[in-house]
Every structure is written in structure tokens, then in C-alpha cells.
Amino acid sequence: MSSSPVSVVPSLAKERRTRGGGRLHSTFRSTLVDAKPEANQAVILAAVFLQVAQFGIIAQALPAGLMQRSGGALAAERLGHLGSANAMARLVLIPTCGHLVDVVGPKPLLLLAPAVATLARGCVYFTSAYAPGVSITMELISAFVTSLTTMIWWMANRAMLADHFGHDTTLLATMLSRVAATIGLSHCIASLVGGYLTAIRPPLAYGASACVSVALVLLCFFGIPESERRPKSAPAGRVWAMTNPFVFLNGFKRGSLSVLFTLLVMLQEFVKPISSARDGIWQVIAREHRGWSAAQCGQFASVTSLAQMGGNLLTQPVLGLVGARGFTIGSNAMSVLACLLYSWPTPASLAIVPQALGTGGAQALTARLTTLGKSLGISNGQLAAEYQSLNAAVSMVAPLVYASFFRLGADRGLPSLPLYCSIAAHAITVLLALSIPSSFWTQKRQAE
């Protein structure tokens, strides 16, 4: 019989276990889901550290090699052409690479990008040993190829962070701030090591960088879990958006407020090639303007990277105190002061603190442009593609502008002239930010 004690008692016991244990099992599962990203944070931050270090080690090698063979003015010009060519390639490839991340998932690209970078730097190392006559050409080719692999790796990294930490906004914001701090720490150590290796023999820096790339491949292979793949199919309009290199123009078609914030982000991207002591053009200016060696550039880049790491960690509390508008105005004002101190015959150490306080000026603007787009119903993927496309478009022009200003200033005994161009861009940013009322810097006003 169905009502026999033999069948009823186990059913009641099973129901009790299901009622009580189900809640426990559900709680345990949710705890695991929330704890899983936390368990991977150390590995992810270590991967970010290695990814940044492999480029920080060779940051002084290419400018030093170019200056040794062709002089400061021609070196700056070549670096400008290289930066523009990189940006043009990124402008074309970014939408397609974003779609590739969606199709195959982030992990394969996290492995492929440093593997290709390892081959490129290995070629530079062996070419310098066996064919020194073509080594500088190989360095330029390697810089071009590895810049594309960097773009692919960071796009995959952002997708991976969204997969593992996107379920909690606070957790994702905390992770991004830790990533920014890790980038500063890695630049600090790698710039110091790379400066010494370049001073001894530039190929040593490329060999060390290739070893770091191998370590990054192994860490990503064994330490980073697989992420979810996105659907392969997409509407026709979405496919066009993912293959259109000019998607950044959409920001100018969504009203005057979107136009203003897009212009602000463009100005922040424009000053990036000369906003850090790690950048090639900045190092050429320092060597011409102050007579520094490659080792001195590496040491100073290490110190400023450490200071900028502290500036990145201050971004979140300062935003809470003064808001996005106040933070944008203050950070750009500090950047103006830093550029003035660098351009004057004053000790470079005086500019470290203002430069650190000016770090992260683009973060508030990028966040506001993102929330503005979301309030208009634009998807996160489309917004990411538009931002990367905007970054590539500006990066295609900015290095050429700074290289031209450097050549013009060097011919007239003023190699720091590009710094005054950066000052003008920061000043325009401050004026535009002041022209936008505080109420328009918040999502609440835009959502009404």
C-alpha cells in the first residue's frame, strides 16, 4: 500500500532533509559562487603584474636604441610614427577582436597574446646577437606586433573580470582598483629592472621580457579558469557595429551632453602618450631636456609608477568626497602643475606628487560616459567597443602631434615644447568640465 509506514516514514524523512538541507545546500552553493572570484583574485592580479612587467622591462630599450642610432629628434619622430601605426591597426582590429572574445571566450586569447609576444621578443634577442645590422628594424616590428597583442590581452582580461566579478558591482569596482594598483607596482619594479638591463645591453631587456611572457602563459594556462562564451549569433545591426572601426562616432550622435563628455574623454586620451615617465616620447624629452641616461629614466619611471599606484588607490575615496566633476577638475589641474614643473629647469622630483594626484583623471569621465550610454539603452559591449575605438583613433593622432612639437622645439632649443601642448589639453579639459553643471554629472539627473 502507498500509505504503509515503510513508504511514509522515508518520505517524511526525505522531505525534512530537503526542507532543512535544501536551504543549507542553497546557502552553501551561493557562498561558493561568491567566494570563487575571491579565490582567483591573487592569480588574476599576478597575471596583470606579469603582463605589465613584460612591457615595462623593455620600455627604455627601444628609445635608447633609436637615440643611439639616429638622435633625439628622429627617435621621437619614429616613435610617433610607430604609435600612430599601432593606433591605426587597433582602430581596425578592435571591433573584430571584441567579437572574437565573445565567440571563443577570454582564456584562449589570454594565452595566445603573450605567446606571440614571446616569439617577437625572442626574434629581437637573437637578431641582435647574429644580425645586429637589422636589429633596430626588428625592434620596431616587435613593438608593433606586441602592441596589438597587448590590446587583445587587455580586452580578454576585461571580459574575464566581468565574467568572474560582474555579479557584484562593489566587488568589480574593488577588483578594478586593485588591478590599477598592481599595474603601478609592476611598472615600478619593471622600469627599474629594465633601465639597468638596457644600460648594460639592450638585448638583455628583450630576453628578460620574453621569459616573463613565458611565465605569463603558464600562469594563465594553469591558474585562470574558463569563462562563459557568449552567443555566436547576433542581429545584423550588432554584427555591423562589431566590425565597424568608426563606432566611436556614435558618441557625437546622442545629444549635446554626450558630445561634451565624449570630447572630454578624447582630451584625456590625447594626453596619455606624454602623461607618464614610462612613455617613449616622455623619455626622449627627458634625455634631451635633462640629459638623463636610460638607467636614470628607468629609475624615475619606477618612482613615478609607485606614486601613481598610490594615486589610483586614492581615486575611489576622493570621488566619494568631491564627486566626478570636482575630481576631473582637480586631477587635470594637478596634471597642469606637473607638466609645468617638468618643463621648467626645476628638480623633476617636485613633479612626482602632482603627477600622482593627476592620475586617474579619465576614470570619472569614462564612468560617466558609460552610465550616460546605459541610460540611453546602449549595451555594455557596444560601449566598450566605442571606448576602445575612440582610444585608438586619438592614439593614432596624438603621437604624431607630440613628435612634431618635439622636433619643432628641439630645432629652437626647447625640447620640452610637447609638455606645453599637454598643458593646453588639460586646461581645455578643466574649462569644459566647469561648463557642465554638477547635476549633469550624476546618473540620477540623466535618468529622469
Q: Is residue 33 part of a domain?
A: no
Question: Residue 154: pLDDT band by 50, 70, 90 thresholds?
Answer: confident
Domain count along the chain: 1
Measured CA to CA, the distance from residue 361 to residue 358 in angstroms comes to 6
pLDDT at 80 over 50: yes
Q: What is the pLDDT of residue 35?
A: 38
- What DSSP letter does each residue of 219-278 carry, written as one string? HHHHHSPP-PPPPS---HHHHHHHH-TTGGGGGGGS-HHHHHHHHHHHHHHHTGGGSSTT
Q: From the CB of residue 32, how many other CB atoms can be counted at a distance below 10 Å?
A: 10
Nearest residue to 78 via CA among 281, 269, 274:
281
Q: Is residue 355 part of a domain?
A: yes
Q: Is residue 88 part of a domain?
A: yes
CATH number at residue 261: 1.20.1250.20
pLDDT at 337 over 90: yes
Q: What is the pLDDT of residue 426?
A: 95
pLDDT tens figures, 415-424 = 889 999 999 9
Residues whose CB is less than 8 angstroms from the CB of residue 160 and which lie 6 or more positions away in sequence, other chains included: 44, 106, 107, 110, 224, 227
Q: Are 255 and 369 in contact (CB under 8 A)?
A: no
Measured CA to CA, the distance from residue 100 to residue 116 in angstroms comes to 17
pLDDT at 428 over 90: yes
Alpha carbon 340 to its chain centroid, in Å, reads 25
Q: Is residue 323 part of a domain?
A: yes
Q: Is residue 229 part of a domain?
A: no
Q: Report the chain's mean pLDDT, rounded to a whole number.
A: 76
The answer, as to whether pTM is greater than 0.85, is no
Measured CA to CA, the distance from residue 122 to residue 113 in angstroms comes to 14
Q: Is residue 136 part of a domain?
A: yes
Q: Which domain holds residue 186?
A: 39-223+238-447
Q: Is residue 27 part of a domain?
A: no
Q: Could you tell me the CA-to-CA distances from 430 to 252, 324, 433, 435 in Å, in that order?
A: 20, 12, 5, 9
Calculate mean pLDDT across residues 224-243.
54
Q: Is residue 320 part of a domain?
A: yes
Measured CA to CA, the distance from residue 55 to residue 62 in angstroms comes to 11
pLDDT above 90 coverage of the chain, percent: 16
pLDDT tens figures, 391-400 = 878 877 888 8
